[in-house]
Amino acid sequence: METGVIDWVEEAIRRKLRWANKIRNMDGNRWARRLTVWIPYDWSNRRAQGTMEERDTTENGLMGAKNNH
């Protein structure tokens, strides 16, 4: 027996795919598409990677700690 209650996970996926299809088919000058596919010029994943200096310092610090023990 079916209750008529919509599975919210399936509904969310369906809506997300419907929106992605609309964006894909939009003209490139529409602001909704431009905003959706926009990537800032100075964007980088600073939280995950850090700067080259930070990574070098961390790697050298870890290597130094390994060699001292």
Residue 59 lies in a domain: no
Residue 55 pLDDT > 60, yes or no? yes
Q: Please tell me the predicted confidence (pLDDT) of residue 69.
A: 47
Residue 19 lies in a domain: yes
The alpha carbon of 2 is separated from its chain's Cα centroid by a whole number of angstroms, namely 37
Residue 51 lies in a domain: no
Q: What is the pTM of this model?
A: 0.48
Query: For the segment 12-49, what is each residue's pLDDT rounded down to a tens digit?
Result: 999 999 999 999 999 888 998 888 888 777 766 656 65
Residue 15 lies in a domain: yes
The C-alpha atoms of residue 10 and residue 20 are separated, in whole angstroms, by 15
| Domain span at 31 | 9-40
The C-alpha atoms of residue 40 and residue 23 are separated, in whole angstroms, by 19
Domain count along the chain: 1
Q: Where are the beta strands (DSSP E) in 1-69?
A: none
Residue 68 lies in a domain: no
DSSP 3-state of 30: coil
Residue 1 lies in a domain: no
Q: Please tell me the predicted confidence (pLDDT) of residue 40.
A: 76
